[in-house]
Chain A
Amino acid sequence: MIKVRIPTPLRPLTKGQGEVESQGGSVEEMINLLDSAHPGLKGRLCDDKGELRRFVNIYVNEEDIRFLQGKATTLKDGDEVSIVPAIAGGR
């Protein structure tokens, strides 16, 4: 089981949940499983070509997957995944 942290802007897709459980041997598999459970989530994380959007980061535990193996980054039971989009509010 993998715990996935859902950021505030994406919570409308998870019925308001800030944390959901998922599975998958890689980040890519996890994204596909998440999208089945919460339709629309993949489109917020990936572009039309399936590449991770450049203003959304995914962390496995504390590491940014862009500096690991990207979507091929492997996941194991107990990992904590965080989805962190850029936010800009300040005023």
Chain B
Amino acid sequence: MNFTDAQIQRYSRHIILPEVGGKGQKKLAHAKVLLIGAGGLGSPAALYLTAAGVGTVGLMDGDVVDLSNLQRQILHTTATINQPKVESGRKMLTALNPEITVNTYQETVTAENIMGFLPDYDIVLDGSDNFATRFLVNDACFFAKKTLISASMFRFEGQLTTIKPHAGYPCYRCLYPEPPPAGLVPNCQEAGVLGVLAGTMGILQASEAIKEILGIGETMADRLLIYDALEMKFRKVSRPKDPACPLCGPHPTITDLGSNYSVTCSI
């Protein structure tokens, strides 16, 4: 594939970087990234991946745009309220960069459908809003050997890590072996979230995805980032592989997506 003059101009600030160059820009053009959730995290991530020239962006979300989303979900606008988020998102992404392919899936991710989507992608970004989906996406990406960039947030605090057990790194269950039972840890947007925190965390996800595509910089695959927006503090802690991990350990007890990924969602 050769870039057109317009593409060279569009991506010139990338191409001039020795770490990217024309070769890296081609890697981005061939990359396929699936976003689980076109909401708070998925919005900024999708916008920057699209702007960066990632060739295929998949948006998966079953919801429609609600007025209360617009405080942080910048893929959507007042004019697209009540429209499916994936359609609203497609319009925005195509307007930003008509040269990329945007695939849309207006459905909720489930144990039944996820393995059907993963083969078409290289990297998955988890921007879901509940533990059940996070464990499901982790397990599915493990079985499909796809790199997963996971971010989550709560009020003023965010977490981010890269998950690629197929490359010898730990999985999400190595970090948190089990989801909390309902009622112990608040996990829903009803708890409130600083809108711009979604931007910070979603853009960090996009940044890590681009690094994984280009193969540059330090991976977050053995680290967990914790960001406190109120104190303006970023901390990184180590994230080792759990030798007793029920999924990616040597003696797995989870061998398919038959587990009960029931939604726990209360404060």
Chain A positions near chain B (C-beta within 8 angstroms): 5, 7-9, 18, 44, 53-55, 57, 59, 62-64, 66-67, 82, 84-91
Contact = CB atoms under 8 A, between A and B. Distances in A.
Contacts of A18: 228, 230-231
Say which size band chain B's interface belongs to: 35 or more
B67 interface: no
Interface of B: 37, 39-42, 69, 73, 126-131, 134, 151-157, 159, 175-180, 184-189, 191, 193, 198, 224, 226, 228, 230-231, 235-240, 242
B39 A88 contact: no
Nearest to A60: B237
A25 to B, nearest CB: 22
B154 A8 contact: yes
A26 B172 CA distance: 27
Most B CB within 10 A of own CB, among A5, A90, A91: A90
B159 A62 contact: no
A84 B37 contact: no
Given A9-B185, A88-B152, A88-B188, 17 more contacts: A5-B235, A8-B154, A8-B155, A8-B228, A55-B131, A55-B184, A57-B176, A64-B238, A64-B239, A66-B242, A88-B185, A89-B188, A90-B39, A90-B41, A90-B126, A91-B39, A91-B69
Contacts of A44: 184
